[in-house]
Amino acid sequence: MGAATTTRLHVVIEPKLSIDRVFFLLGYARKVRFAPETTTLAAREGIVEPFVAAFLNALQRALRRGLPMSYVSREEALPTIRGRVRFADQLRRRYDLPLPVEVGYDDYTLDTEANRLVKAALRRIERLRLRSPLLRRRAAEALGSFDGVTDVAFDTRRLPTFSYTRLDQRYRPVLELAALLVRNTSVELDPGQATMSSVLFDMNIVFEDFVWAAIGDELREMIPTSYRWRQGKSIALDEDRNVRPEPDLSLWDGSRCVFVGDAKYKETEQGEVGDIYQLLAYCSATGLDEGLLLYAEKPSGPIAHRVVRGGPRLRVETVDVTAPLEQLRDRCRVLAVEIAATAMSAAAAA
């Protein structure tokens, strides 16, 4: 007989964080606000089912005007001409055969990347053993609206990103929550050979997303409009450009990096050795004289490690994610000021 298939829900959250603060951090970078009743329910019953309910509520609101459609570029071989004929492909693939015709056209369809991501999230919910029969029924009903949308197994490390306009802003909370569900729902195999679906929010990623978004919101008013605040932009560590680490935080003036940093959901007074090595590599790759390590830690004085033999200065600072929200925003504002000053200094020295 094959392995038994069961479903398990589990979320790993540092005990020091309240449920409402976890929801705040989850939603901040995605411009999603969770209703107070969602966090109240999560505090009583756990985070997973309230999170699923919040996603289904957002989806229900967005679909009041129907499933969004969009133009998708397609290239196919058809028995009739549609759109434009791709003559080079026709000659290369068909030679002297008149049919089928290689064409390219724009199709106004429901089968878009955005709808595929939402359907993938609904499929993940379908595999979870939700205790609420109402949630299970709502998820099944919502899935029925996506019959004309292709099922896609997304790579959780490379989920699609979207640019939002005034016309599709209503769909933004749905897509952002769908991405969280797809990224944080996994299938595991326990030692007992039982396949289980689980939900696991990686607080390292949640913390990184938050500080990138919160500092970025403050930075926009402090830096030239040509600068770009990036998350996970790869840099070349070796001359052959084969080793390409991706710093959590970086600021760019065109192709030149003027600030680099990393964010860690850890508690430490002076920074862990492995993290410091990592930041040193980032500074070496970008040619910067200074880098920043941010930890999720209660307030402490900034610490700087000066690398021997004229190496870079590696700063260690903290962000207390348990602080009152106004204090948390003020802290991100202070860090933005420091980062802007570091970047301007690096640009001037170039």
The pLDDT tens digits of the residues spanning 107-142 come to 788 999 999 999 999 999 998 888 889 999 999 999
Q: Same structural domain for residues 173 and 29?
A: yes
Tell whether 193 and 292 lie within a shared domain.
Answer: no
22-27 average pLDDT score: 90
Q: Is the pLDDT of residue 42 over 90?
A: no
Q: Please check whether residues 47 and 194 belong to one and the same domain.
A: yes
Are 91 and 180 in the same domain? no
Q: Is the pLDDT confidence value at 188 over 50?
A: no
Which tokens hold the place of 253?
């003036």
CA distances from 108 to 71, 118, 169, 170 (A): 4, 18, 19, 19
pLDDT of residue 170: 86
Instruction: Give the tokens for residue 112.
Output: 């878009």
Q: Do 330 and 184 belong together in one domain?
A: no
Q: Looking at 13-17, 177-181, 286-290, which range is the least confident one?
A: 13-17
The partner residues of 259 in beta bridges, in order of sequence, read 251
Q: Is residue 11 part of a domain?
A: no
Of 166, 201, 236, the one marking the end of a domain is 201
> Helices marked H in the chain — which ranges?
19-28, 36-45, 48-62, 87-94, 113-127, 133-144, 172-184, 203-219, 273-286, 325-349
Give pLDDT, residue 140. 95
Task: Kindly report the average pLDDT of the chain as a whole number.
Answer: 86
Q: 326 with 274, same domain?
A: yes
Both 36 and 123 in one domain: the answer is yes
pLDDT value at 11 more than 70? no
Q: Are 122 and 143 in contact (CB under 8 A)?
A: yes
138, part of any domain: yes
The answer, yes or no, to whether residue 41 has pLDDT greater than 80, is: no
Are both 119 and 251 inside the same structural domain? no
At 31, the pLDDT band (50, 70, 90 cuts) reads: confident
The total domain count for the chain is: 3
In angstroms, how far is CA 128 from the centroid of its own chain? Answer: 22
Residue 294 has pLDDT above 80, yes or no: yes
| Beta carbons of 71 and 104 less than 8 angstroms apart | no
User: What are the tens digits of pLDDT across the range 248-279?
Assistant: 999 999 999 999 999 999 888 788 999 999 99
Please give the pLDDT value at position 2. Answer: 42
29 and 45 housed in the same domain = yes
Shared domain for 286 and 324, answered yes or no, is yes
Q: Look at residue 13 and tell me if it is in a domain.
A: no
- Does pLDDT of 343 surpass 60? yes
Predicted confidence band of residue 3 (pLDDT cuts 50, 70, 90)? very low
Both 231 and 303 in one domain: the answer is yes
**Residue tagged 């919101």 (tokens):** 217
Radius of gyration from C-alpha coordinates of the chain? 24
Statement: residue 14 has pLDDT above 70: no
pLDDT at 196: 46
State the pLDDT at residue 7: 37
- pLDDT band (50, 70, 90) for residue 43: low
Q: Whole domain around residue 55: which residue ranges?
A: 19-64+114-201
Give how far Cα 102 sits from Cα of 71, 108, 146, 247, 277, Å: 19, 19, 29, 43, 53
Residues 6+ apart with CB under 8 A from 242: none
Q: What is the DSSP letter of 64?
A: G
Q: Is 50 exposed, middle or buried (0-12, 13-18, 19+ CB in 10 A)?
A: buried
What pLDDT band is residue 37 in, cutting at 50, 70 and 90? Answer: confident
**Do 212 and 160 belong together in one domain?**
no
DSSP assigned state of 45? H
Say whether pLDDT at 200 is over 50. yes
pLDDT at residue 5 tops 80: no
Q: Is residue 92 part of a domain?
A: yes
Does the pLDDT at position 192 exceed 90? no
The pLDDT-based confidence of 16 (bands split at 50, 70, 90) is low
Tell me whether residue 5 is in a domain: no
